[in-house]
Amino acid sequence: MDKALCHQTVMSHPFAQLVHVALLALSPLLALPTLPACHKDEATATAPKPVVAVGDQVVAVTADERGFTPAAVETKHGSKLTLRFTRTTDATCADKVVFPEAGIERPLPLNQPVDILVPTDKARTLTFQCGMAMFKSTVLIR
């Protein structure tokens, strides 16, 4: 049996046709794992070194195309930590900052600093993120 006739015979089976159509429909999804998430490059995929706040401190945080910088801040519980957020672009969804575990949500107007006093009453890790949770960063309270 020649190759063309064999292919035609197999493809005439209804199950083979269904599998063929399903594979064609799903083929674009197979490329998804290779796409970068949230427009982040590979450099942001590695664990960031935290900025260590010693004592009472104000730490500047920039919201730009790469997300939040620094991506991690560390402090001692009971210290006074203020994060001063400045959004420098309209090209991302980071038009507000949300601390889900602390119930804090603040708008980030373009090029205007916004101070947020971080609750450091107990040791824990707090996440801060954009409103869509595409850019996430942490505050580690020891």
CA distance 58 to 71: 15
- pLDDT score for 49: 85
Share of the chain above pLDDT 70, in %: 66
Across 100-130, b (16+ Cβ under 10 Å) vs e yields: eeeeeeeebeeeeebebebbbeeeeebebbb
Question: pLDDT tens across 77-125, in order?
Answer: 999 999 999 999 999 999 999 999 999 999 999 999 999 999 999 999 9
pLDDT at 4 over 60: no
Any bridge partners for residue 90, and if so which? none
- Structure-model confidence comparison of residues 74 and 46, the more confident one: 74
The pTM (predicted TM-score) of the whole model is 0.67
Determine how many CB atoms are found less than 10 A away from the CB of residue 2: 7
Instruction: Give the burial string for 71-80 (b: 16+ CB within 10 Å, else e).
Output: bbbbbeeeee
Ramachandran angles phi, psi of 100, nearest 5°: -55, -45
State which H helix or E strand residue 25 sits in: helix 14-30
